[in-house]
Structure 1
Amino acid sequence: MGTCHLPVELERCSHWAIKTLNFDLRGAGEKRLLDLHALEELRLDAYESALIYKEKTKAWHDKHINKREFKEGDKVLLFNSQLKLFSGKLKSRWSGPFTIKRVFPYGAIEISNENGEPFKVNGQRLKPYFDGFVHKEAKIVHLDEFDVPHLR
């Protein structure tokens, strides 16, 4: 048979343990204060690390942004972010060409469609449109013009 403890005996043992552990109230208070300071220091370190991470991520992102300079009269294509991926797999997400009417500070650009109706867009959604590419004349070379010994 196992050991049997009376409730009074358990109460006395638990009271003794609580009294022993919490005997030094001043020491317990100081330890609690040190724990709070350590927790605050961890929180500040995490906050600082997050700021450093955000700064590095922003610097990397800004470094990889293509700086585009547009001027009035340029032809541009507009990126259509509303076009669903599966509505037409081969359909281009770039529409246009549009003509730049006015360039505002901080990247806003006013463009107009074929009808001359102006509207403002973010300059990051535009890319230059080049019309009238010059195609060079293709040169045809016949292989029988060359004397290649291993082909005879």
Structure 2
Amino acid sequence: MSLAGEKRLLKLNELKELRYDAYENSRLYKERTKYNRHISNKSFKVGDKVMLFNSRLRLFPGKLKSKWSGPFTISRTTPYGSFELEAEGNKFMVNGHRLMLYHSNDQVGMIESMRLDPPDPKPLS
């Protein structure tokens, strides 16, 4: 009876060690694969023009319909990543992850083009 008790105690200790190893492995895995590291911090200033991601588009799907609406102007920022947008006198708060910087036509520079004509054939001599 005492031998069976010792074996059972050894098995319980072995099970505790396996649980501890599994806990350590999952902690290390979570540390390596933190998703916050892959999320880029977007920095917008007051007065920037931004586009807003329309997450409700799924209700009214359109094959060629854009998922971005705007442009909106940022009127206020908060330290926690939310922004107050203004459009046509209406103001509302949104999360910064739903915003993208708006590039208007006046911000696009000149495009240089180069014409590539075939070379003149040289007469064979």
TM-score higher than 0.5: yes
1:67 to partner: Cα distance: 2.1
- Unpaired runs of 5+ in structure 1? 1-24
Cα RMSD, aligned residues only: 2.6
Match in the other structure for 1:55: 31
Match in the other structure for 1:116: 89
1:135 to partner: Cα distance: 5.5
- The letter of the residue matching 1:116 is G
Query: Identity across aligned pairs (percent)?
Result: 52
Match in the other structure for 2:3: 27
Q: Of the two, which has the highest radius of gyration?
A: 1
- Unpaired runs of 5+ in structure 2? none
Seen in structure 2, the aligned counterparts of structure 1 residues 52 and 139 have a Cα distance that, compared at 3 Å, is: closer
Q: Flag the structure with higher strand content.
A: 2
Seen in structure 2, the aligned counterparts of structure 1 residues 46 and 148 have a Cα distance that, compared at 3 Å, is: farther
- The letter of the residue matching 1:35 is K
Query: 2:77 is matched with which residue: 89, 103, 106?
Result: 103
Count of residues paired in the alignment: 122
Query: 1:129 is matched with which residue: 77, 82, 102?
Result: 102
Q: Deviations over 1:99-146 (max 9, x none)?
A: 111111121111122x222211111111110112436366574737x4
TM-score (norm 2): 0.81
Q: Considering Cα pairs closer than 8 Å and 6+ residues apart, tell me whether 1 or 2 has the greater RCO.
A: 2
Q: Flag the structure with higher helix content.
A: 1
Q: Give SS of 1:121's match.
A: strand
TM-score (norm 1): 0.68
Q: Does residue 78 in structure 1 map to residue 52 in structure 2?
A: yes
Q: Give SS of 2:120's match.
A: coil
Mapped to 1, the partners of 2:3 and 2:37 lie a distance apart of: 54
